[in-house]
Amino acid sequence: MMNCMKDRFRTPVAVGSPLRFIGLEDKNLFIGSCFAEHVGKRFAEARLQTMVNPLGVMYNPLSISRLLTTQETDPERDFVLYKGMWHSWLGDSSLSRLDADECRQVTNQALACLHTELAQADNLFLTLGTSRYYIYKETYEIAANCHRLPSIEFEEYDLGVDEIVEALDSALVPLHERNPHMQVIFTVSPYRYAKYGMHESQLAKARLLLAVDKLQMLHPEWITYFPAYELLLDELRDYRFYDEDMLHPSAQAVDYIWQRLSAEWMSDEVHNYLARWEPLRRSLSHRPLHPESAEYAAFQEQTREQLDKLKSDYPNLSFPSV
């Protein structure tokens, strides 16, 4: 009986094979919900070439589509003044400013940076959060972020599967024509939108998953899917892998998903590099009890030598100073 139960404490999720392994020289761009921020942060901590949400967190497919197709803002429609601050409908509050011109300037700069990156990205990670979106009633603009304006200022809608496919396909096809080397890797955020109700949240996730599946079938040579959603809900499947709000994935869950992604979707060259970088990264973050000691001075010198060797072996990557 014991043998029958062996290895049955979890349900392993197969992550499949990538269209192309993520390489050491690859440029990686992350756009989407807070989950894109978490996984993108792991790429950045590994010192891989990474850009994460230059206009802030994105949740719905229409805002992501618009971001991918807009290169300059409309000063009459893309901004709103609320409680003394100017906000952009194209991004989150990281772009908000007291001055209207400054808000437009930082938004346009972020857009320019994004499109420069899109032109040369090897891997575009798109994390979809929800099929729901909000329209600002006064100008009928889609809000990537509501900036805490009263809910009465917005109309709320739910996208169907075909609408999601159309919005993302119309944005991605021209991008891929300009940058044919780019592979698009979709993920669906495992965050649960409790404010909609758990059933409605699951329906929204289902629409996203079905839409991604259709996009894969349309472009199997350059669109793929990494099952972060399934890894958390089916393989980890335990509230200890959620944050205190019981809705967001915990840091441990994000680490596990990063480990699966790096282990199974990255090239051998990246694996060899990470085997050297990870212990060095831990050494760099070490905080000694006695920084004035000779022992710590020797530790610092050894760390500096290892870092100099890594910089020499990987001159195209950016490393911190000791």
What is the per-residue pLDDT for 255? 87
Q: Token digits for 307? A: 């870092």
Residue 78 CA: distances (Å) to CA of 62, 70, 82, 151 = 15, 11, 13, 18
Strands 132-136, 141-143: pairing is antiparallel
Task: Decide if 47 contacts 25 (C-beta within 8 A).
Answer: no
What is the spatial distance between Cα 39 and Cα 226, in angstroms, rounded to a whole number? 12
Least confidently predicted of 155-169, 264-278, 296-310: 296-310
- Report residue 115 as tokens: 């499109």
Instruction: Spell out the CATH class of 16-266.
Output: alpha beta
Average pLDDT over residues 168-195: 92
* 3-class secondary structure, 276: helix
Listed residue (173, 189, 216) closest to 131, CA to CA: 189
pLDDT in tens, 66-110: 999 999 999 999 999 999 999 999 999 999 999 999 999 999 999
Tens of pLDDT, residues 204-257:
899 999 999 999 999 999 999 999 999 888 777 776 776 676 666 788 888 889
Cβ-Cβ contacts under 8 Å for 119 (sequence gap 6 or more): 178, 179
Q: Is the pLDDT of residue 151 over 60?
A: yes
Question: What was the pLDDT predicted at 300?
Answer: 84
pLDDT of residue 2: 42
In the predicted structure, residue 34 carries a pLDDT above the cut 90: no
Average the pLDDT over each of 5-9, 27-31, 224-228 and give the range with the smallest value: 5-9
Residues of the chain with CATH 3.40.50.1110: 16-266
How far apart CA 199 and CA 273 sit, in angstroms, is 43
pLDDT at 200: 83
